[in-house]
Amino acid sequence: MARRIDKSSVPAVTVPRLATYLRKLRELRARGVERVSSKDLAQMIDLNAAQIRKDFSYFGEFGTRGVGYEVQRLIDEIARCLGLERTWNVVIIGAGLLGTALARYRGFSEQGFRLVGMFDSSARVIGASYGAGRVRSVAELEEFCAAQTVDIALVTVPAHAAQGTIDRAVAAGITAVLNFAPIKVFTPKDVIVRQVDLSSELMFLSFHLDRGSD
C-alpha cells in the first residue's frame, strides 16, 4: 500500500520543483532508465542534490545510498502528491489567439488534464472548433458546469474582462483558476487562483538582456 503523504507538510515552494522532477523522471523512464541518483538528477535539471533529497524526503526514505532512487516509484509518488492519479476537467474561457493555442496543446491530456469545453462572448468565434468541440457562449457556462464537473478554468480574456469572467466561473462552481490576464483578480478564500503574467516574464528577460549589454 502506498504511503500516505501529508500534503500540509510539503511547502508551496516545493510544488513547482516536484513538477520539474516529474517531467524529467518521465523522460528517463521513456529512455529505459530504472534508477537515478540525486546527483545525476541535479545535473540534468540544474538544481542542488541536497535540495532534491530534501524534497524527496516528504515521500519517505526510499532512496539507497550508492544505488539511487527507483524512477518508477518516484514518478508514482510525485504524481500522487500532485493529484495526478486522477483526471481533472478543464475549460478555457476566451477563444482568442492564446486560448485557441492552449486548446490545441496535446500536453494537457498527457498530464491528466482533460479539456472538456471552451467558451467566449464573441459571436464571431462561438460555434467554431479549436480542439475542444465547438466554442460555446460564456452565457452557457453555468448550465455546462451543472451538467458535469469542471475542476479548473483557464481564463484567457482581456484584462478588462478578467474579474467578471472569473466571478462567473466561481459562481458556476469552479474552484481553481489559471488567469492569463495581466491584472490582479479577487476571489473567495476557497478558490485557488494562479496568475500567469507573460508581460512581466518578458520584462524580466528584457531587464537581464539589457543589463548584459551595459
pLDDT digits (tens, 9 = 90+) for 50-79: 888 888 887 766 555 667 888 898 888 888
Residue 191 has pLDDT above 60, yes or no: yes
Q: d(Cα 136, Cα 53) in Å, to the nearest integer?
A: 46
Higher pLDDT, 20 or 83: 20
Contact of 119 with 145, CB cutoff 8 Å:
no
Amino acid at 174: I
Per-residue pLDDT tens digits for 137-146: 999 999 999 9
Under the banding of pLDDT at 50, 70 and 90, the label for residue 1 is very low
DSSP character at residue 77:
H
Residue 3 has pLDDT above 80, yes or no: no
Under the banding of pLDDT at 50, 70 and 90, the label for residue 24 is very high
Report, as an integer, the average pLDDT of 12-20: 86
SS3 41: helix
Report, as an integer, the average pLDDT of 92-117: 89
Angle at 179 between CA 111 and CA 175, to 5 degrees: 70
Query: Which pLDDT belongs to residue 141?
Result: 95
Domains and CATH numbers, the chain: 7-81 (1.10.10.10), 88-200 (3.40.50.720)
Q: Scanning the structure block, which residue is given the C-alpha cell 532534491?
A: 52
| Maximum mean pLDDT: which of 10-14, 126-130, 190-194 | 190-194
Strand partners of residue 152: 90
Average pLDDT of the chain to the nearest whole number? 86
Least confident of 84-98, 162-176, 195-209: 195-209
Query: Which pLDDT belongs to residue 64?
Result: 59
Q: d(Cα 34, Cα 124) in Å, to the nearest integer?
A: 51
Q: What percent of the chain stands above pLDDT 70?
A: 90
Q: What percent of the chain stands above pLDDT 90?
A: 44
Strand locations in 6-158 (E) = 35-36, 69-70, 88-93, 113-120, 136-137, 152-155
